[in-house]
């Protein structure tokens, strides 16, 4: 905060939230609230909500919200998170692979609406339902279950993807999506026919998120 004091205003031009530490974000909030100075955020691919500022000190200091309040005109969404809980994801704290995977899923659930449907499949050597497909009437209950996921075991992505696609076959949602969160350390499998068949047959789309500096990004 002392280093900011000489400046009348600070401009965040397309700067993502992850580029700032929590301490820096809190200092920016104090810079505005306590020193009466100005902060300007310029729009871009890494600004506002898409920049990760939802529920941060920077969101609190700006005169805008990072989420859309009126969501009744949004298409109904059915989303499944397939989360790797194998031994390679283990570690302590939020900076561990498992910690980052849980945080990614929780942040996404927070942005979904009560009309949406969510499910969570966890996998090591096999897949299992941590959260069976459910509407988000009780969002906090879903978040608690995600937060309780722990790592341990081998890795096999394919069964978890197959379970996820099967669960989305009969939903009436306009948007059907699977988010795979893993370090990609799995055996070879016929992923492409599975992914392509789910898209062509039921318009189910897939996002894969590689976790960790040692992740197999080619597989993901």
Token look-up 């995600």 returns: 146
Q: How far is CA 2 from CA 22, 27, 59, in A?
A: 16, 9, 21
Residue 51, pLDDT score: 85
Buried b (16+ CB within 10 A) or exposed e, 102-128: bebbbebbeebeeebbbbbbbbbeebe
Residue 111, pLDDT score: 82
> Which pTM does this prediction carry?
0.72
**129-159, pLDDT tens digit by residue?**
999 999 988 999 999 999 999 988 888 999 9
Pairwise CA distance, residues 220 & 210, whole Å: 6
Rounded to an integer, the average pLDDT of 83-111 is 85
Average pLDDT across the chain, whole number: 90
> Would you place residue 172 in the very low, low, confident or very high pLDDT band (cuts 50, 70, 90)?
confident
Cβ atoms of residues 155 and 88 within 8 Å? yes
Which candidate, 89, 81, 83, places its Cα nearest to that of 215? 89
Given a cut of 90, whether residue 83 has pLDDT beyond it is yes
Maximum alpha-carbon separation in the chain: 60
Rounded to an integer, the average pLDDT of 40-53 is 88
Q: Can you name the residues that pair with 81 across neighbouring β-strands?
A: 120, 179
Token look-up 């031009």 returns: 13
**56-65, pLDDT tens digit by residue?**
999 999 998 8
DSSP class of residue 169? T
């Amino acid at each position: 905060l002392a280093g900011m004091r000489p400046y009348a205003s600070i401009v965040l031009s397309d700067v993502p939230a992850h580029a700032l530490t929590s301490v820096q974000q809190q200092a920016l909030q104090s810079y505005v609230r306590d020193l009466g100075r100005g902060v300007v955020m310029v729009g871009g691919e890494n600004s506002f909500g898409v920049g990760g500022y939802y529920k941060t000190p920077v969101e609190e200091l700006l005169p805008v919200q990072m989420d859309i309040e009126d969501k009744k005109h949004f298409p109904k969404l059915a989303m499944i998170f397939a989360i790797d809980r194998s031994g390679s994801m283990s570690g302590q704290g939020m900076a561990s692979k498992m910690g980052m995977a849980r945080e990614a899923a929780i942040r996404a659930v927070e942005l979904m609406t009560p009309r949406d449907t969510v499910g969570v499949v966890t996998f090591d050597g096999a897949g299992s339902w941590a959260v069976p497909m459910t509407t988000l009437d009780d969002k906090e209950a879903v978040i608690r279950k995600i937060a309780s996921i722990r790592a341990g075991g081998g890795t096999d992505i394919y069964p978890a993807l197959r379970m996820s696609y099967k669960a989305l076959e009969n939903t009436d949602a306009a948007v059907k999506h699977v988010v795979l969160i893993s370090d990609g350390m799995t055996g070879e499998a016929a992923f492409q026919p599975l992914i392509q068949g789910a898209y062509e047959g039921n318009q189910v789309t897939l996002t894969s998120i590689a976790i960790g500096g040692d992740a197999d990004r080619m597989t993901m």
